[in-house]
Amino acid sequence: MSTLTLANKNKRFRGQNQFEPEALYSLRKESWNCFNDLDMPHRANHLWRYTDPKVLLANNPSELMKITPSLPDQTEYNLISLDEAFSGYGYNRSDYMTFAKLTPALEKSGVIFKDLLSATRENEDIVGKYLGNLIGSDFGKFEAMNLALWNTGLFLYVPDNINIELPIRLQRHPSGPNTFHRLLVVVGNNSKVTLIDDYSGECRKEEAQINSVVEIFAGDSSSVKYLNTQRYSSKCNSYITQRTRINKDAKSVSVFAGLGGNVSKTNAGTVLDGPGANSQLYGIVFGDDNQHFDYHIVHHHTSSNSYSNIDFKTVLKDNANSASTGLIRVEEDALNCEAFQVNRNLLLNEGAKAESIPELEILCDQVQCSHGATISPIDKEMLFYLMSRGVAYKDAVNIITLGFIEPTIKNFPGELETLTRELITGKMEG
Amino acid sequence: MANKNRILSVNDLHVEVEGKEIVKGVSLQINSGEKHAIMGKNGSGKSSLAYALSGHPNYKITSGTVEMGGQDLLEMDATERSLAGLFLGFQYPMTIPGVTVVNFLRAALRARNGNGIDMKNFRKVFKEKMKLLKIDNSFATRYINDGFSGGEKKRLEILQMVMLQPKVAILDETDSGLDIDALKIVANGIVDSAPKDGGVILVTHYQRLLDYIKPDKVHIMLDGRIVKTGGPELALELEAEGYNKLEAKESQKVGV
């Protein structure tokens, strides 16, 4: 069943994308066809049980035809100065306002950081190999749409044996009624990088849609730390799909902080694709008002002797609601893996609702797995205990809430911990 | 009757829990510097009285009055009662994951707006008091009661009392679950640090705590009422005779 009746205007689409190399155009065309061929996700599908896909699709599909990727205007590039706390800074609105900057030392080391459209022309060998490889047009309707229409993107390439000590910060904003972000990261063997992927800003129109795809490829013995913060204004509906693939002995730490937006759906995960691969996935959602969060978190073990852990916490107040589905999938030939997940939800008042569904798809016999989920209202006896020491009700609620997320947040890598803590306290204090 | 030494005055207090009357008319007058023990069997209403005085929302006060230092306690919520100088040492202290002891105490002291330990001296006083109660320094950064033994929890209750310097401290079965060494430490902590010109209410089953803390008055609670009040000798008498004998006597009196 397709509810979207959008004519396939390939010709016009091509005409507007004259800067793109042929390979990218083919990829877009193919993805566009996939998008049109795929039915809207059915609500009976477990991934879409909690969020209506229509909310994430523009009411007026003809608007999609106005999406015009264009080469960025480099004049602003030289105006931005790099904060000394960071190794790089990428800014992303619509493509002509996309820029990326690295410290001069890193530029010399062979690290490439630029807007994705330029990279498709200038670094076709790398981009061609990886773009759409983890999240391609067969991933799902919305992912196909992104690969067809992405209109603002960034590309980071870290060669082998490079340790980028300070984080690279990305600031991503919506523009117009449809924003299609795309981020491609390729990290070489034995290299280290920390990325802060910060989504914020206002959607001026009620129906503004944001669709973002993040693909991260991490080589042998590499380390990737990725923080995804979503703090859109209250009118934004967003759908973010993220995957990291880590090879032999590589380490990935991903943190998702869901704070903003109206309807926010995220499908994030790590593919453990080599022995010794180790992935930690953390999430903290703080919802209030009428916010809706839907997080699907995945650990996919395709290799033996790989290790993963999911620790996801949700706090909801007012009439906010959330669904958390955590999937551990271990392939038949992926032996001796360890995979754990826990999802805890704290409801601060009666109107708030949470659902938590841990999922296990274990296809092999030799595996160590565990999962746990809890949903509980704020403990009245804890509140009384704190109040009996002179702490006001509101402060007691905040102390318990911060205590609830503390055991999770304290495991975050230093720079990510500080930032996440600031964002959460900021939201709690309104 | 005005008594300027009177620090806590409970008059004919009735308390209901889930529609059932648990405290059936308790009166208690505590003067500055006094220590009172309330003794009684399980289910006699001792802990309910303690909770009700501290403002637990499940304990509904149906009639009676409570005044502390001239203020109407029943008008206040649990926070306000604490700020006014009331302290409850819990029989079963709560575990609060993710909140460290030191941060919690800072928050509690900050809420007092300077009425208590000067924040500048916080660290010094905190360390001193931990030493006094033989609490290892590492407890400061542990989560409140998380993985604490029974004795450690009770010591932490007393540490909080010491730090918050209340006017009236109600210690609800602080002695239960303590071995003899821990009991001595806790009792010494109470004797050393209990408010000198304030009041202490020791709620207990057993005489043994009173070996270390000599009460000025002993009250015996039975079925929601104080049925007998006396000096320290009453606790010894009770220890020798047991609650059942007393219960039988009192039942006869009221003609049950």
- Residue A417 inside a domain? The answer is no
Determine the distance in angstroms separating the CA of B237 from the nearest CA of chain A, rounded to an integer.
34
Amino acid at B40: G
B249's enclosing H/E stretch is: helix B243-254
Chain B residue at shortest CA distance from A382: B94
**Distance separating alpha carbons of residues B157 and B154, to the nearest angstrom:** 5
Q: How confident is the model at residue A1 (pLDDT cuts 50, 70, 90)?
A: very low
For residue B140, pLDDT beyond 90: yes
In this prediction, residues A119-141 reach a mean pLDDT of: 95
Q: Which residues of A touch B55 (CB under 8 A)?
A: 387-388
- Supply the ipTM of this predicted assembly: 0.95
The two tokens of residue A386 are: 């704190």
Chain centroid to CA A28: 22
Nearest of A70, A232, A37, A268 to residue A144 by alpha carbon: A37
pLDDT in tens, A211-268: 999 999 999 999 999 999 999 988 899 999 999 999 999 999 999 999 999 999 999 9
> A386, A404, A408: best mutation site toward chain B, by most B Cβ within 10 Å?
A386
The rounded percent of chain A whose pLDDT value lies above 70 is 90
- Residue A154 inside a domain? The answer is yes
pLDDT in tens, B22-33: 999 999 999 999
- Residue A404 inside a domain? The answer is no
**Distance separating alpha carbons of residues A227 and A229, to the nearest angstrom:** 6
Which parts of A28-135 are beta strand (E)? 88-92, 99-102, 112-115
A134-A136-A141 Cα angle (round to 5): 130
- Residue A387 inside a domain? The answer is no
- The residues near A348 (Cβ < 8 Å, ≥ 6 apart) are A315, A316, A317, A377, A378, A397, A401
**Distance separating alpha carbons of residues B168 and B161, to the nearest angstrom:** 10
Report the domain count for chain A. 1
pLDDT at position B13: 98
pLDDT in tens, B69-122: 889 999 999 999 999 999 999 999 999 999 999 999 999 998 987 656 677 788
Residue in B77, B98, B104 nearest the CB of A407: B98
pLDDT at position B33: 92
**Distance separating alpha carbons of residues A9 and B30, to the nearest angstrom:** 88
Determine the distance in angstroms separating the CA of A269 from the nearest CA of chain B, rounded to an integer.
26
Q: Which residue has the tokens 């059932």?
A: B20
- The Cβ of residue A6 has, within 10 Å, a number of other Cβ atoms equal to 14
Q: Residue B241's domain is classified under what CATH number? A: 3.40.50.300
- Residue B1 inside a domain? The answer is no
The rounded percent of chain A whose pLDDT value lies above 90 is 72
A390/B77 Cβ within 8 A: no
- Residue A395 inside a domain? The answer is no
Specify the DSSP class assigned to residue A219.
-
B interface residues, A as partner, C-beta within 8 Å = 54-57, 77-79, 81-83, 87-88, 90, 93-94, 96-99, 104, 107-108, 111-112, 143, 160, 164
Dihedral (Cα; A13, A18, A22, A25), 10-degree rounding: -30
Asked if B98 contacts A403 with a C-beta cutoff of 8 angstroms, the reply is: yes
> B86, B99, B153: best mutation site toward chain A, by most A Cβ within 10 Å?
B99
Report the domain count for chain B. 1
Could you tell me if residue B98 is left (phi over 0), alpha (psi between -120 and 50 degrees) or otherwise beta? left
For residue A179, pLDDT beyond 50: yes
| Greater pLDDT, A179 or A381 | A381
pLDDT in tens, B197-234: 889 999 998 888 898 999 999 999 999 999 999 999 99
B111/A390 Cβ within 8 A: yes
Q: How confident is the model at residue B244 (pLDDT cuts 50, 70, 90)?
A: confident
pLDDT at position A202: 84
Q: Which residues of B touch A412 (CB under 8 A)?
A: none
- Residue A237 inside a domain? The answer is yes
For residue A4, pLDDT beyond 50: no
Quote the mean pLDDT of chain A. Answer: 90
Q: Which residues of A touch B57 (CB under 8 A)?
A: 380, 384
Determine the distance in angstroms separating the CA of A381 from the nearest CA of chain B, rounded to an integer.
7
In this prediction, residues A37-48 reach a mean pLDDT of: 89
Q: Which residues of A touch B56 (CB under 8 A)?
A: 384
Best-predicted range by mean pLDDT (A194-208, A400-414, B174-188): A400-414
Give whole-number Cα distances, A339 to A221, A266, A272, B100, B174, in Å.
Answer: 20, 21, 11, 29, 43
B55/A386 Cβ within 8 A: no
Determine the structural domain holding residue B88 and report its residue range: 6-254
pLDDT at position A68: 62
- Residue B127 inside a domain? The answer is yes
For A413-427, give one letter per residue: b (16+ CB within 10 A) or e: eebbeebbbebbeeb
* Three-state secondary-structure class, residue A153: strand
Determine the distance in angstroms separating the CA of B236 from the nearest CA of chain A, rounded to an integer.
32
Determine the structural domain holding residue A129 and report its residue range: 10-379
Q: Which residues of B touch A405 (CB under 8 A)?
A: 98
- Residue B239 inside a domain? The answer is yes
A194's enclosing H/E stretch is: strand A192-201
Q: How confident is the model at residue A5 (pLDDT cuts 50, 70, 90)?
A: very low
* Helix spans in A58-115 (H): 104-108
**Distance separating alpha carbons of residues B137 and B127, to the nearest angstrom:** 7
**Distance separating alpha carbons of residues B13 and A426, to the nearest angstrom:** 44
Provide φ and ψ at A272, rounded to 5°. Answer: -95, 100
In this prediction, residues A44-65 reach a mean pLDDT of: 81
pLDDT at position B23: 97
Asked if A291 contacts A265 with a C-beta cutoff of 8 angstroms, the reply is: no
Determine the distance in angstroms separating the CA of A408 from the nearest CA of chain B, rounded to an integer.
9
For residue A77, pLDDT beyond 50: yes
For residue B67, pLDDT beyond 80: yes
Q: Which residue has the tokens 């005055």?
A: B9
Quote the mean pLDDT of chain B. Answer: 90
Determine the distance in angstroms separating the CA of A288 from the nearest CA of chain B, rounded to an integer.
21
* Three-state secondary-structure class, residue B174: coil
Q: How confident is the model at residue A8 (pLDDT cuts 50, 70, 90)?
A: very low
Nearest of B157, B54, B56 to residue B101 by alpha carbon: B157
- Residue A234 inside a domain? The answer is yes
Q: Which residue has the tokens 């990279």?
A: A119
For residue A398, pLDDT beyond 60: yes
- Residue B217 inside a domain? The answer is yes
pLDDT at position A364: 93
Q: Which residues of B touch A392 (CB under 8 A)?
A: 79, 111
- Residue A322 inside a domain? The answer is yes
B94/A382 Cβ within 8 A: yes
- The Cβ of residue A368 has, within 10 Å, a number of other Cβ atoms equal to 11
Length of chain A: 430
